[in-house]
Every structure is written in structure tokens, then in C-alpha cells.
Amino acid sequence: MRPFVVSRKSIPSGLVTLAGDKSIAHRAIILSSLCAAKTELHNFPLHQDSLATINVFRKLGVDIAQQGTKVHICGKGLFGLLKPKQPVFVNDSGTTLRLAAGVLAGQDFESTLIAGDALSKRPMKRVNAPLRLMGADITARIVDQEEYAPLLIKGKKLKGITYTLPVASAQVKSALLLAGLCADGLTQVIEPLATRDHTERMLKLFGVKVKAGENKISLAGKQRLVSPGRIFIPGDISSAAFFIVWAAVIPGARIRIEKVSLNPTRSRIISLLQEMKADIKVTKSVQNGDSEPMGDILVKGGKLKGIIVEHEDIPLIVDELPILMVAASLATGKTILRGVGELRVKETDRINSMVENLRKMGADIQVERSGEDEDILIDGSGKLSGASVKSFSDHRTAMSMIVAGLSASGRTSIDDTSCIKKSCPDFIEKAKNLLEDTNF
């Protein structure tokens, strides 16, 4: 594949509308499928990860019709899913794999979940182990005492448990809560740090009684789900972050992003950038029924300053950390990102990918051990220089390096950008639309 080349030729300006937030989309498909009624989703994102979840639940017997960004689901009920005729492919969607494992653990049939090459290298013991405590029968591929896909899941009668997450993870929490729906008794998940609450919000939208407070989330099993009828999925804040940073670091830039998710467990990236002196204003805020807040974001370009990001913020910005590292490199002064070790087990080792690439572009960036975790230290100079960099087949690394290249002096060549279709397939087109000179 030919490298993708970018350079800073003009100032971004204009309007951005984004496909629906994929974290919300996954959960909307799953709970609509577990509800014995019809549900209609609007602004559904048409990228690999969300389509993987549609594929899984179609294989489980759910009638799902898709017309562009509108999706109609005729749910089967909590125990109405059907045994798949063959192993179910989740592509490289980690959310699909982990949440589907939680659902399937409590069904009355056997199923196998298989993953793409990249996801098959990501650890699954953190999900499988607590599910087994609930009574799940899960067999995984084992390498050096860690567990990986494929997963053979023999559905069993589950019991609720109280489980304290050793590492803050919204995906593990969500898998346990979904398993708890099918279990007898009460399921409680205790988090060391607050994580994204999309699952709790979506459960409540479907009429499930969920108690949340002081980092403890609990629900009683076998509750009946009631469809809200129609769900609008706000724009993906993680995708928005790339455009926000790009505009924030270019003096004279001005962009507006419409109807984007402002979930408080996801919008920390906005307040952190504001702490870096980014000119960002939330100009409109509306409530999406009883589920997800959303609004419009106005960004004006300027100069950023370094900040310290504490470890308790990391679970709230884990997907935005790569582009935040770009922002820190283009800021002046020191930025410290504390407790970022979770980046090692994403689609790629994002600490390695981002550190290697940004150093090639002239960034002063170091990684230091901090107890059992790691910190990233970036001494920003306010500038980067073009270089030949790699995506490492990771969508967030690729988009981060495109933004870095569009903000740097000289030309930047990214070896492969095809991985962007995993979460934001029209990212490059939308970026071009913000430039007067659309010739990258």
C-alpha cells in the first residue's frame, strides 16, 4: 500500500458531523437484541467494530435490518437467542468480544467466538476469570498463563457475585453486568476508579433497575427489558477528539462539531484540553432521552500549555491518550500522563507506537516506571517536524499521526491508514472538507 502523505498547507475551518459513538452503538445493539420488542437506532456508525456487533447478534438469531445509518432490531428477549450454526466472528472488536462473552455465558447453548489476528493477541483472562466465578464455562487459548480468543462458551445457569475489578475497565464491568442480567441474585461490580458508564445508562434506558454510587454498580438478575422505541446515538467523542486537537493547535482555526456525546465519563478529554488553554466551548447541550447527553462543540485555534494528568483520569480518556500525546508534543512546557500502562494492551502497544512516532517527529518524550504502572513525560516545544511514521495497524495511532502531520512543519508519511476504517472510515474525507486546499 502507498504511504499516505500529509503536510500543513492551510487552516482547518468549518462544520464536522460524526457518526454515532461506537461505545454506545455496541450496547444499543446488545440490549435491543435482549429485549422482546422492536427498537430503532439512528445515527448508527458504519465502521468495522459496530458492524461486528450486528453480525454477532444476527448469528444468534436476532432480526436486524440496516438502512444506512438507521438500524431496526426485533429483539428475542433475555433468553431468546439461538445457538449459532458455526463459530461467530467478532473481527477485531474488543468490545464486541468481551460484552458478547458476558451475554453468552448465561444462555442455554454452546457457542464459539473467534477474533481477528490483532484481537486474538489481546488478553481475555480479565473477563473470563470473573465470569467463571459466576458459574460460566469458558475455554480459551492459553499462552504463558494468559487467555486469548477463540473462546468456547458453554452456557450455564449463572449466579450473581460481588467482584472488585483489579484494573479499571469499562469492558470488563459491562461483561459482568450483562452476565448479571441472566444470573440469579444480585451482581455487584466495584471499580478502583470510575470508568465509562454507557452500559449503566443503556440498561436504565431499557427499564432495568441499576444502582450506582461510590464506584459500585449493582443489578438484580432476570429483569425484563422494555424498549424505548427509538434511540439517537450521539457523535463519537473519541473521533471528535482528533478534530478538536487539530483545530486547537493551529492558530486561526475554527471548527464546530455537532451533536457529539458529552457523557461526563467520556468528556474529560475536553476539560483536560481546556486546562491546556485550548479555546473550546460547549455551545449547546441537549439530553438524549434518559440516556446520553450530547451537544455542539466550538474549537478555536491557539497555543497550548503542558499539564499533569493524574492516574484516576486515565480510564476516562484511555482512547484519547494517543491524540492527547500529540497535543502535549505541540504544547509548550511539560506534560505528565500518570498510570498509562493500559495502553500496552489496546489494538497495539500504543505507548510503543506513539513514543516511536513522536520521537521521529522531534518530540521529547520519555516513559518511566511508576510502581507497577508507567508514566509518560513529554517536554513540549510547541512544534513537530515531518517524518516517516507507522500506524502499527492501529486506527487511533494512524489518526493521531495524520493530525500530527497536518500540524507539523514539512511532510509526514504514514505507512498505512487502512486501519482507520475500524472506527472512523471517513476521517480523511472529513479532514479534507475542513481545508481550503484539499490536496493533502
Residues known to be catalytic? 319
Output phi, psi for 318, to 5 deg.
-60, -35
Distance CA 237, CA 94 (A): 18
> With contact defined as beta carbons under 8 Å apart, do 62 and 34 qualify?
no
Output phi, psi for 106, to 5 deg.
-105, 10
> With contact defined as beta carbons under 8 Å apart, do 53 and 27 qualify?
no
Distance CA 294, CA 211 (A): 23
> With contact defined as beta carbons under 8 Å apart, do 49 and 91 qualify?
yes
Element (H, E) at 288: strand 279-288
Comparing C-alpha atoms, which of 35, 20, 347 is closest to residue 178?
Answer: 35
How far lies 197's CA from each of 23, 27, 215, 288, 435, in Å?
10, 11, 11, 15, 35
Neighbours of 166 (CB within 10 A): 11
Distance CA 135, CA 124 (A): 17
Region of residue 393 (left: phi > 0; alpha: psi -120 to 50; beta: else): left
- Quote the cell numbers at residue 17: 458531523
Distance CA 163, CA 191 (A): 9
> Could you give the angle at which helices 94-104 and 170-181 cross, rounded to 10 degrees?
30
Rg (CA), the chain: 21
How far lies 100's CA from each of 71, 190, 191, 202, 307, in Å?
19, 21, 21, 16, 38
Calculate ∠ Cα 53-316-266, nearest 5°: 65
DSSP character for 35? S
Distance CA 215, CA 168 (A): 10
Comparing C-alpha atoms, which of 13, 4, 19, 5 is closest to residue 240?
Answer: 19
